[in-house]
């Protein structure tokens, strides 16, 4: 029996160096690029053979003493997977709390080989991880690649599908050299593809009919999806080529186990190669027992991401997820189906921990095409919920109302995932609690508003009543004030009347006094007429005492003139006197000497000086105070002269 | 205690004499024993990188127990050490002959030089070490590495001589050793390697540096300064950016130089080009220029039909590397021709 020259949907590995053809130049470039800098990005379309290029081509370029490849695939997280991969290869237990760089440095010292971290299917960080995880990963790698890092003997190789290249861009902020050293793996060209068909067959002793390789490539390129890269570059999709070659080889082997030969007839018998992978899938599922096929299909569907890429699953995870795809298979049935899918090379056992995955992303794409819209929606909602579940487990963030609404139609089909179901249940409970709390708060607010309103109303009523009371009081006060005003007016009138009366009385009194003064004056006149000048003056004096009386004053003056009483000698002046004056009441006489500049005041009755020495004056003044009108003054002067 | 501890610990202690700062690794924790892995690492990184890489390989899985692979690796390390010594002596000899005239070269040396230098093997290397050493000693020329003067003696050459037949025997396809013989020889050769490394421990004092670029900085009314981009190949950490050092004079570039120290390096350096070259400065920005040149330190391996073949220190090549795509390959050929012309009988057409 000959050795199988083809790998079907598996990647070439270290042991397949003698079967791996058509990528010599790319291997050379990759090997050179690994030495260009410590970070290398290898990208290309799905089905270009990136993994084979690294696992076989690059691995065989290194001497085993110069390379410690650490293959890392996303599991529960990329950094977790890296930790696990390091731990698996470490011989020395790192110190507690050792950083990633320290653990890698220790790993180097365990092996003394430059460590090559290989992150295959790096796009899983974008399809399965979240932004926080991507940032954490970039920071961790930046720390490892830092010039002063303890892990100076560590290189990093990221293998990513080219459609996720743009998604890598945000990481460039943390890893500026992310795109500096990169290599694009293009679809295999025709010449190289012919070598990839013919050379492995030669190594394994499998005959290839002349021109068969060319015809296979023609048929794949002519009608199949194998031709034309994403940028329009012609090339062969190796996945499809491998499936075709495998089918041809199996037929050749069946025909002649000792000397298998790839023939044109077998190629013709394959029919159309347009959907060779889809047909292969249908064929394999169709060949399964009726009871197994639905379980197998459900298994396959659960191993696809919303982007149509493969997603590794463990048995326990499958058992959880299958009911969501309306598959109620028992554990044993699932195991049987898994075994069958592995046997027909649709699935591969990923690791020792019971993990399975589709053999190639191209298969995932075909399975995705077979899914109903409902199943795709379910897949998407599960993916979203799982992402939120990670957040919940990390930060305790529950689902928001929008997510719960989205998940609601799928709730009956999500019960199969206890963690998701619990997340939904917790979120719903929390949402209800929130609603209840909101209602309570709202009720409280309404009650508070009511209380406030009621209080305000009561206060308003009270204020209104108070206002009314105040209004009553004001009105009463107003009335009282009006009454008081009236009373005041009355009293004022009374007062005015009294005042009038008083004035009248005063007038009367004045009139009486005037009358009396008049009588005294008259009697003074009579006495004067009788030349009783003394009595006349006394009467006049009495009259003047009672009232300022012009008649009495004139009478008195005339009397004094007529009576010619004994002259009094007013002694005091040493020089001539220029003027005399007499006060209106006639009691005081003023004499003025201009030369002496002095005024002397005399008692008109007894002729005694009132102020000794007199009063010095600066100049002679006529004494205006004696009388306001000239006549009385003149009269007074006249009277004094006589005096 | 692993088999490597018997090799690396004594060598480490010897290195401390010439590089006292290494003692810090011993005294890191008084209450703990020093991590032998760290000591081994320091030995690897202290020796010039071509030797350091081979020492590292001795520590890798599968080679860290007495077996055939270890036996081969021990011999390869010895060969690489001899190759380095031979290159240092030849580089100096060429400079001395250019300075002092060809009179110092004995005719026998000139006659045989092409045969031994054209295709290097351990036997050729030992001949070159001894012959070049004798010329320098006879001419009273102090070796560039002064400590080497004491080594350039008959005793030293005698100790080197047996390795050639051993190597030939071990690598002969007809010689088959059983496990016990291999184990015995591993122990025996390891002792020899340990002694050789201890004898050459002074090498760690002399930086092996790669000058990848020189830029002139000249400011107004100030003397010119030459900014050298230098990689230290003793403490060679891959991908670490080369360090810029400014000197008033300039050295050679691109070139691998043996220095007596970084201070005043332009006054005292030995250019090992084209015997040891560094391809890191090469920029290959277009596929039209041919396949990419691997970035590595390369050691001259043979000169054939005007072509120089190199062996990468790290890159794995089944045969010698063809570096004709290197942008300064023409200059390397000229320099190589100079060796044959001045020290030998010229390049055979």
Domain ranges of chain B: 5-201, 208-343
Test B314 with A109 for CB contact under 8 angstroms: no
**Interface test mutation site (partner A, options B8, B44, B239, B292, max chain A beta carbons within 10 A):** B239
Residue B103: pLDDT above 80? no
Identify the residue with better confidence: A399 or B73: B73
Q: How far apart are CA B321 and CA B314, in angstroms?
A: 12
Tell me if chain A has a CB within 8 Å of the CB of B321.
Answer: no
> Which tokens go with A518?
């008049």
A36 Cα to chain B: minimum distance (Å) = 6
Would residue A49 be called left, alpha or beta, if left means φ above 0 and alpha means ψ between -120 and 50 degrees?
A: left
Report chain A residues whose CB lies below 8 A from the CB of B239: 37-38, 155
Tell me if chain A has a CB within 8 Å of the CB of B140.
Answer: no
**Interface test mutation site (partner B, options A65, A91, A142, max chain B beta carbons within 10 A):** A65
Report chain A residues whose CB lies below 8 A from the CB of B237: 152-153
Which of B37, B57, B238 is facing A109, going by the closest CB pair? B37
Tell me if chain A has a CB within 8 Å of the CB of B95.
Answer: no
Q: How far apart are CA B211 and CA B229, in angstroms?
A: 6
Test A112 with B40 for CB contact under 8 angstroms: yes
A110 Cα to chain B: minimum distance (Å) = 7
Q: Answer yes or no: are the C-beta atoms of B191 and B154 closer than 8 Å.
A: no
Q: Which strands, in side-by-side order, build the sheet including A313-314?
A: A313-314, A355-358, A347-349
Residue B28: pLDDT above 80? no
Test A112 with B237 for CB contact under 8 angstroms: no
pLDDT at A557: 63
Report chain A residues whose CB lies below 8 A from the CB of B37: 92, 109-110
Report chain B residues whose CB lies below 8 A from the CB of A29: 291-292
Domain A23-186 has CATH 1.20.1250.20: no
Q: If you average pLDDT over residues B203-207, what whole number do you get?
A: 92
pLDDT at B114: 92
Q: Answer yes or no: are the C-beta atoms of A371 and A382 closer than 8 Å.
A: no
Domain A188-270 has CATH 1.10.8: yes
Test B38 with A109 for CB contact under 8 angstroms: yes
Tell me if chain A has a CB within 8 Å of the CB of B35.
Answer: yes
Test B238 with A114 for CB contact under 8 angstroms: yes
pLDDT at A234: 57
pLDDT band at B89 (very low <50, low <70, confident <90, very high): very high
Tell me if chain A has a CB within 8 Å of the CB of B218.
Answer: no
Test A65 with B57 for CB contact under 8 angstroms: yes
Share of chain B above pLDDT 90, in %: 62
Q: Answer yes or no: are the C-beta atoms of A74 and A313 closer than 8 Å.
A: no
Q: What are the residue ranges of CATH 1.10.8 in chain A?
A: 188-270
- pLDDT means per 10 residues, chain A with 643 residues, are 84 92 90 88 92 94 90 90 94 89 94 94 89 94 90 93 93 93 91 91 91 87 43 67 91 90 90 82 87 88 84 83 75 88 85 78 86 78 79 80 79 70 82 85 88 89 89 88 86 84 79 77 78 74 67 64 57 78 75 80 78 62 43 38 34
List alpha helices for A90-130, DSSP H. Answer: 100-111, 124-127
Which of A25, A35, A152 is facing B240, going by the closest CB pair? A152
Taking CA atoms, what residue in A is nearest to B315? A62
Taking CA atoms, what residue in A is nearest to B240? A147
Which of B292, B293, B316 is facing A63, going by the closest CB pair? B316
Q: How far apart are CA B276 and CA B300, in angstroms?
A: 6
pLDDT at A639: 38
Taking CA atoms, what residue in A is nearest to B235? A152
Test B62 with A114 for CB contact under 8 angstroms: no
Taking CA atoms, what residue in A is nearest to B314? A66
Tell me if chain A has a CB within 8 Å of the CB of B88.
Answer: no
B166 Cα to chain A: minimum distance (Å) = 23
Q: How far apart are CA A469 and CA A460, in angstroms?
A: 14
Which of B60, B291, B315 is facing A65, going by the closest CB pair? B60
Tell me if chain A has a CB within 8 Å of the CB of B283.
Answer: no
Tell me if chain A has a CB within 8 Å of the CB of B57.
Answer: yes
Identify the residue with better confidence: A509 or B214: B214
Report chain A residues whose CB lies below 8 A from the CB of B3: none
Q: Answer yes or no: are the C-beta atoms of A610 and A601 closer than 8 Å.
A: yes
pLDDT at A96: 86
Which of A36, A61, A147 is facing B316, going by the closest CB pair? A61
Q: How far apart are CA B91 and CA B89, in angstroms?
A: 6
Q: Is the full-model pTM beyond 0.80?
A: no
Q: For the domain A276-419, what is the CATH code? A: 1.10.10
Report chain A residues whose CB lies below 8 A from the CB of B63: 65
Test B291 with A64 for CB contact under 8 angstroms: no
Test A25 with B315 for CB contact under 8 angstroms: no
Does the interface predicted TM-score (ipTM) exceed 0.95?
no
Q: What's the half-sphere exposure (Cβ side, CA atoms, 13 Å) at A137?
A: 28
pLDDT at B4: 86
A222 Cα to chain B: minimum distance (Å) = 30
Q: If you average pLDDT over residues B243-263, what whole number do you get?
A: 92
pLDDT at A501: 82
Tell me if chain A has a CB within 8 Å of the CB of B38.
Answer: yes
Q: Which residues, listed in sequence order, are joined to residue B322 by a DSSP beta bridge?
A: B309
Test B62 with A64 for CB contact under 8 angstroms: yes
List b or e across A428-467, with b for residues whose CB sees 16 or more CB atoms inside 10 angstroms: beebeeeeeeeeeeeeeeeeeeeeeeeeeeeeeeeeeeee
pLDDT tens digit sequence for B239-249:
455 688 999 99
Q: Which residues, listed in sequence order, are joined to residue A588 by a DSSP beta bridge?
A: A603
Tally C-beta pairs within 8 A across A and B: 64
Report chain A residues whose CB lies below 8 A from the CB of B35: 109
Residue B251: pLDDT above 80? yes
List alpha helices for A530-574, DSSP H. Answer: 533-546, 550-563
Tell me if chain A has a CB within 8 Å of the CB of B44.
Answer: yes
**Which residues of A lie closer than 8 Å to B, measured between beta carbons?**
25, 28-29, 31-33, 35-38, 61-66, 92, 109-114, 147, 152-153, 155
Pairing state between β A68-72 and A115-119: parallel
Test B238 with A153 for CB contact under 8 angstroms: yes
A199 Cα to chain B: minimum distance (Å) = 21
Which of B38, B60, B314 is facing A111, going by the closest CB pair? B60
Q: How far apart are CA A638 and CA A561, in angstroms?
A: 9
Report chain A residues whose CB lies below 8 A from the CB of B61: 111, 113
Tell me if chain A has a CB within 8 Å of the CB of B292.
Answer: yes
**Residue A72 to residues A78, A85, B185, Cα–Cα distance (Å):** 8, 7, 40
Which of A38, A62, A63 is facing B238, going by the closest CB pair? A38
Tell me if chain A has a CB within 8 Å of the CB of B223.
Answer: no
Taking CA atoms, what residue in B is nearest to A150? B237
Residue B272: pLDDT above 80? yes
Q: What are the residue ranges of CATH 3.40.50.300 in chain A?
A: 23-186
**Interface test mutation site (partner A, options B69, B292, B298, B322, max chain A beta carbons within 10 A):** B292
Test A25 with B37 for CB contact under 8 angstroms: no
Q: If you average pLDDT over residues B107-135, what whole number do you get?
A: 92
pLDDT at B12: 94
Q: Answer yes or no: are the C-beta atoms of A207 and A260 closer than 8 Å.
A: yes
């Amino acid at each position: 029996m000959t050795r199988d020259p083809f790998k079907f949907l598996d990647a070439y590995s270290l042991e397949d160096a003698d079967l791996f053809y058509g990528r010599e130049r790319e291997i050379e470039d990759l090997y050179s690029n690994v030495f260009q800098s410590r970070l290398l990005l290898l990208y290309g379309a799905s089905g270009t053979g990136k993994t084979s290029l690294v696992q076989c081509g690059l691995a065989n370029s290194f001497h085993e003493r110069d390379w410690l490849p650490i293959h890392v695939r996303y599991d529960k997280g990329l950094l977790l997977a890296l930790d696990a991969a390091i731990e698996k290869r470490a011989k020395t237990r790192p110190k507690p709390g050792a950083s990633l760089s320290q653990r890698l440095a220790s790993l180097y010292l365990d092996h003394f080989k430059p460590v090559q971290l290989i992150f295959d299917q790096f796009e899983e960080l974008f399809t399965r991880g979240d932004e926080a995880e991507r940032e954490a990963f970039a920071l961790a790698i930046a720390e490892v690649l830092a010039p002063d890092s303890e892990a100076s003997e560590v290189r990093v190789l990221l293998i990513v599908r080219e459609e996720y290249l743009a998604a890598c861009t945000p990481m460039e902020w943390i890893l500026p050299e992310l795109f500096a050293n990169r290599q694009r793996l293009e679809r295999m060209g025709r010449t190289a593809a012919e070598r990839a068909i013919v050379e492995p067959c030669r190594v394994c002793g499998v005959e290839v009919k002349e021109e068969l390789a060319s015809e296979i490539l023609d048929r794949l390129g002519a009608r199949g999806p194998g031709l034309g890269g994403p940028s329009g570059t012609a090339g062969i999709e190796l996945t499809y080529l491998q499936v075709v070659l495998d089918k041809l080889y199996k037929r050749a082997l069946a025909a002649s186990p000792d000397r298998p030969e790839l023939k044109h007839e077998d190629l013709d018998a394959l029919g159309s190669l347009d959907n060779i992978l889809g047909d292969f899938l249908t064929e394999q599922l169709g060949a399964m027992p009726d009871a197994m096929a639905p379980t197998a299909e459900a298994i396959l569907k659960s191993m696809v991401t919303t982007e149509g890429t493969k997603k590794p699953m463990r048995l326990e995870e499958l058992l959880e997820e299958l009911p969501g795809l309306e598959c109620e298979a028992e554990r044993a049935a699932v195991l049987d189906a898994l075994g069958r899918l592995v046997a027909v090379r649709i699935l591969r056992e990923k690791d020792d921990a019971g993990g399975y995955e589709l053999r190639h992303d191209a298969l995932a794409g075909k399975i995705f095409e077979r899914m109903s819209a409902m199943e795709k929606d379910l897949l998407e909602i599960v993916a979203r919920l799982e992402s939120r579940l990670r957040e919940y487990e990390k930060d305790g963030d529950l689902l928001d109302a929008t997510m719960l609404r989205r998940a609601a139609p799928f709730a009956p089909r999500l019960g199969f995932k206890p963690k998701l179901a619990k997340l939904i249940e917790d979120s719903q409970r929390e949402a209800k609690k929130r609603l209840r709390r909101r209602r309570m708060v709202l009720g409280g607010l309404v009650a508070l508003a009511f209380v406030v309103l009621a209080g305000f109303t009561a206060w308003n009523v009270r204020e209104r009543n108070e206002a009314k009371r105040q209004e009553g009081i004001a009105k009463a006060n107003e009335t009282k004030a009006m009454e008081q005003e009236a009373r005041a007016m009355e009293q004022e009138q009374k007062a005015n009347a009294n005042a009038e009366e008083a004035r009248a009385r005063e007038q009367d009194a004045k009139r009486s006094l005037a009358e009396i003064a008049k009588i005294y004056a008259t009697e003074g006149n009579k006495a004067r007429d009788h030349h009783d000048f003394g009595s006349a003056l006394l009467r006049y004096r009495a009259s003047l005492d009672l009232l300022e009386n012009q008649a009495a004053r004139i009478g008195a003056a005339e009397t004094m003139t007529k009576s010619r009483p004994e002259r009094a000698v007013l002694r005091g002046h040493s020089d001539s006197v220029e003027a005399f004056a007499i006060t209106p009441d006639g009691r005081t006489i003023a004499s003025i000497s201009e030369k002496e500049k002095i005024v002397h005041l005399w008692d008109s009755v007894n002729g005694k000086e009132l102020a000794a020495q007199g009063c010095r004056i600066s100049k002679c003044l006529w004494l205006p105070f004696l009388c306001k009108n000239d006549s009385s003054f003149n009269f007074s002067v006249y009277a004094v002269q006589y005096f | 205690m692993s088999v490597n501890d018997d090799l690396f610990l004594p060598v480490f202690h010897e290195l401390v004499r010439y590089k006292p700062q290494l003692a810090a690794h011993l005294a890191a924790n008084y209450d703990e024993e020093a991590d032998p892995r760290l000591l081994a690492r320091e030995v690897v990184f202290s020796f010039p990188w071509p030797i350091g890489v081979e020492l590292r390989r001795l520590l890798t899985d599968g080679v860290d127990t007495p077996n055939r692979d270890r036996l081969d690796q021990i011999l390869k390390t010895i060969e690489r050490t001899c190759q380095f010594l031979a290159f240092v002596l030849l580089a100096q000899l060429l400079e001395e002959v250019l300075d002092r005239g060809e009179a110092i070269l004995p005719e026998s040396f000139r006659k045989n030089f092409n045969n031994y230098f054209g295709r290097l093997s351990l036997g050729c290397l030992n001949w070159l070490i001894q012959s070049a050493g004798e010329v320098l000693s006879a001419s009273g020329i102090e070796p560039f590495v002064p400590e080497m003067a004491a080594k350039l003696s008959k005793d030293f050459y005698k100790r080197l001589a047996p390795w050639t037949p051993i190597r030939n025997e071990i690598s002969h396809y007809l010689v088959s050793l059983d496990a016990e013989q291999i184990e015995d020889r591993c122990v025996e050769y390891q002792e020899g390697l340990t002694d050789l490394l201890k004898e050459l421990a002074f090498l760690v004092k002399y930086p092996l540096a790669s000058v990848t670029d020189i830029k002139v900085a000249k400011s107004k009314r100030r003397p010119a300064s030459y900014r050298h981009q230098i990689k230290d190949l003793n403490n060679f950490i891959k991908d670490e950016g080369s360090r810029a050092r400014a000197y008033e004079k300039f050295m050679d570039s691109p070139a691998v130089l043996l220095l007596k120290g970084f201070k005043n390096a332009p006054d005292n350096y030995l250019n090992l080009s084209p015997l040891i070259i560094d391809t890191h400065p090469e920029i290959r920005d277009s596929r039209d220029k041919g396949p990419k040149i691997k970035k590595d330190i390369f050691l001259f391996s043979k000169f054939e039909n005007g072509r120089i073949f190199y062996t990468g220190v790290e890159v794995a090549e089944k045969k010698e590397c063809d570096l004709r795509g290197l942008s300064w390959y023409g200059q390397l050929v000229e320099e190589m021709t100079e060796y044959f012309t001045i020290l030998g009988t010229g390049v055979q057409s």
